[in-house]
Amino acid sequence: MAYKNASSTYKETKIKTASQGQLLIMLYDEAIRQLTLAIEMLELKNANNKIHDKIEKINKAIMKAEEIITELMVSLDFDQGGDIAKNLFALYSWFNKELLEASISQNVDRIKTVRDMFSELHDSWKKIVHTVEPENREAVGLNIAG
């Protein structure tokens, strides 16, 4: 029981102390994890022909990914983001539409397509965050020299 509390506290602290870029990467990581979980369960379900055993868990994983994507959509800044924000909004909307259709039809290929595209975005954001944030840390850091 203490381990669960310690793990939960660690995760909470990690989130509270993360930069905006790190939070973005965490959201992407979790969405990709949920989509991968849904794919694995769907493939296992299809292999075993046990339709009813996993449907609720599959749909829950897809829904979590959709919720993350929706959170990313509402966090877009159209004033500063311009065309990039508009394009991301359109892409995120398409992701959610595809995931909804995939959930209804239990189509693993559609989920894989979204996950793979999402992974590409993740990699791009990760490069940006690692390039930009070290510069920002130096600007915000303490001057201990006096």
Structural domains of the chain in order of their starting residue, each with its CATH number: 21-140 (1.20.120.340)
Q: Is the pTM of this model over 0.75?
A: yes
The single residue listed with the structure tokens 């201990």 is 144
List the chain pLDDT tens, one digit each, 146 residues. 566 665 555 455 555 556 888 899 999 999 999 999 999 998 887 666 666 667 889 999 999 999 999 999 999 999 998 999 999 999 999 999 999 999 999 899 999 999 999 999 999 999 988 888 665 554 444 333 43
Which amino acid does the sequence have at 81? G
